[in-house]
């Protein structure tokens, strides 16, 4: 599954606002909610899961992948990204400081596995992680992902 088809420019956001993790999760999910890729119940399921101890979404390197079970309201495959200037630590824990939030909508296990694999390949490269943080706009992120996919 190509990330460039899941993470389109309208799903990429940047924020200089200071926010707590629940606001970051809602903010990264908003483009998917706006286009009907997920339901409001999906956003609620994500925040409830994290509040119950869900630091499992912390992928390391200041990156988190918010998601919920498909039956919680994943309608269509999609991915969104939010880069924060200041980290919003998960559960207020400094060891889980996150400044790059992703939200994955995967309506089935196959999409979930493929999207996670593609994202893991992208984020496992230190230069790519740095470039994502250095991106100034959605077009920069889209170009970075497209180049990465073309070179694979």
Superfamily of domain 3-150: Mannitol-specific EII; Chain A (3.40.930.10)
Q: What is the pLDDT of residue 1?
A: 76
Q: Are 98 and 29 in contact (CB under 8 A)?
A: no
User: pTM of the predicted model, to two decimals?
Assistant: 0.95
Distance CA 97, CA 89 (A): 4
Task: State the pairing for strand pair 78-84/12-15.
Answer: parallel
Tokens of residue 28, six digits: 């990264």
**121-144 b/e (C-beta count within 10 Å ≥ 16 → b):** ebbeeeebbebbeebeebeebbeb
Q: Is residue 101 within a helix (H) or strand (E), and if so which, with residue range?
A: strand 100-105
The predicted-structure confidence for 111-138, as pLDDT tens digits, reads as follows: 989 998 999 999 999 999 999 999 999 9
Residue 90, Ramachandran bin (φ over 0: left; ψ between -120 and 50: alpha; else beta): beta
The predicted-structure confidence for 29-49, as pLDDT tens digits, reads as follows: 999 999 999 999 999 999 999
Residues facing residue 12 across a β-bridge? 81
């Amino acid at each position: 599954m190509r990330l460039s088809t899941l993470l389109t420019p309208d799903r990429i956001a940047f924020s200089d606002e200071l926010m707590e993790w629940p606001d970051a999760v809602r903010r990264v999910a908003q483009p998917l909610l706006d286009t009907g890729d997920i339901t409001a119940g999906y956003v609620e399921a994500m925040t409830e899961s994290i509040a119950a101890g869900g630091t499992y979404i912390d992928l390391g390197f200041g990156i988190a992948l918010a998601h919920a079970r498909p039956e919680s309201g994943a309608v269509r495959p999609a991915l969104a990204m939010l880069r924060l200037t200041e980290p919003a630590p998960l559960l207020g824990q400094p060891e889980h400081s996150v400044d790059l939030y992703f939200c994955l909508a995967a309506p089935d296990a196959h999409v979930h596995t493929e999207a996670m694999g593609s994202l893991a390949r992208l984020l496992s490269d230190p230069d790519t992680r740095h470039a994502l943080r250095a991106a100034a706009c959605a077009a920069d992120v889209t170009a970075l992902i497209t180049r990465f996919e073309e070179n694979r």
